[in-house]
Amino acid sequence: MNSSPLDRTVFIISDGTGITAETFSHSVLSQFDSVSFKQVRMPFVDTVEKADGVVGRINRCAIDQGNKPIVFTTLVNSEILSRVKTADALFLDLFGAFVEPLEQNLGVKSSHSIGKSHLSASSIAYRNRIEAINFSLAHDDGQFIKGLAQADVILIGVSRCGKTPTSLYLAMQYGIKAANFPLIPEDFERNTLPSTLVPHKHKLFGLTIQPERLTEVRNERRPDSVYSSLAQCRHEVAEAERLMRRDSIPMLSTTTKSIEEISTTVMQEVGLDKHSTY
């Protein structure tokens, strides 16, 4: 059975999880709107035997579909790589393309060793990530106020504006201890930021959102409530923005932004990029 030429199967082959290659392939392939890609991730290909199994799957796919599959690889072992490359496919070798120019430029050989991943569970950076995830969970939604002194950043904003997913992403990806704290109607009546936040003003970052989007999000959770009404959302967003502006707290609208984009902006504005040093 021949598939359409604009339906293509993409194999992601790695001796590790393949997550880096998968993310990268998404990014490159999103530049080809007119093609429909079906992705197959084949992780932990760390022996010649597994490589031979992979070759069989790629070749069967090539025959079934009547066109060459696309193969992204991050394989550091050259024997495994050369075995995989015997398959009938277009190979995009992510390491091959960059390791050699780096070797020349740096004047040292790469270690070509499997399992040298930056994700290694034994690294300090990894332990920091897990600790930060636990921190973010413990400091979600204004819980456990005492720990705010340890936070790298405290996200503030109205309920359901995106604070929790952003805190978790910052923790998981960067090991940043991100707490979050809701701004609620009582704060607007009192017309000040919650007093517990005042000592930490230098590490506050405000998230805001269009009321029209907020009412959608809140309605998914509590349909037809005052809490979810457009009037209430408009009121809360306007008040929260006013409080944040008055105290010169940096602010970002999350309406059309992904957690990756929000997190990147937070890190830039709060000066947390130091965490990405390694």
Residues 42-101 that bind its own copies (CB under 8 A): 43-44, 68, 70, 74, 76, 90, 92, 94-95, 97-99, 101
Least distance from its own copies to the Cβ atom of residue 223, Å: 15
HEC profile of 15-62: CCCCHHHHHHHHHHHCCCCCCEEEEEEECCCCCHHHHHHHHHHHHHHH
Whichever of 34 and 248 has its CB closer to its own copies, that residue is 34
Whichever of 208 and 243 has its CB closer to its own copies, that residue is 208
Under rule CB under 8 A, residue 116 binds its own copies: yes
Asked if 235 and 243 count as a contact pair (C-beta separation under 8 A), the reply is no
Using the rule CB under 8 A, give the single segment among 134-142, 175-183, 190-198, 241-249 that binds its own copies.
134-142
Under rule CB under 8 A, residue 27 binds its own copies: yes
Cβ neighbourhood burial of 93 (10 Å; 0-12, 13-18, 19+): middle
Under rule CB under 8 A, residue 128 binds its own copies: no
Q: How far apart are CA 32 and CA 51, in angstroms?
A: 29
Enumerate residues 213-232 that contact its own copies by CB under 8 A: none
Contact residue for its own copies among 53, 56, 78, 102 (CB under 8 A)? 102
Under rule CB under 8 A, residue 108 binds its own copies: yes
Sign of the dihedral through C-alpha 9, 14, 19, 21: negative
Whichever of 26 and 242 has its CB closer to its own copies, that residue is 26
Whichever of 37 and 227 has its CB closer to its own copies, that residue is 37
Contact residue for its own copies among 54, 60, 112, 187 (CB under 8 A)? 112
Using the rule CB under 8 A, give the single segment among 124-132, 149-157, 202-210, 244-252 that binds its own copies.
124-132
Under rule CB under 8 A, residue 33 binds its own copies: yes
Q: What is the b/e burial string over 242-267, where b = at least 16 CB atoms within 10 angstroms of the residue's CB?
A: ebbeeeebebbbbeebebeebbbbbb
Whichever of 172 and 230 has its CB closer to its own copies, that residue is 172
Contact residue for its own copies among 53, 60, 130, 190 (CB under 8 A)? 130
Give the other-Cβ count within 10 Å of 216's Cβ. 14
Under rule CB under 8 A, residue 248 binds its own copies: no
Q: How far apart are CA 69 and CA 51, in angstroms?
A: 16
HEC profile of 218-234: HHHHCCCCCCCCHHHHH
Under rule CB under 8 A, residue 2 binds its own copies: no
Give the other-Cβ count within 10 Å of 208's Cβ. 23
Under rule CB under 8 A, residue 261 binds its own copies: yes
Under rule CB under 8 A, residue 182 binds its own copies: no
> Measured over all CA atoms, what is the biggest interatomic distance in the chain, rounded to whole angstroms?
70
Under rule CB under 8 A, residue 143 binds its own copies: no
Of 161, 131, 152, 138, the closest CA to residue 262 belongs to 161
Whichever of 91 and 243 has its CB closer to its own copies, that residue is 91
Of 47, 45, 48, 39, the closest CA to residue 69 belongs to 39
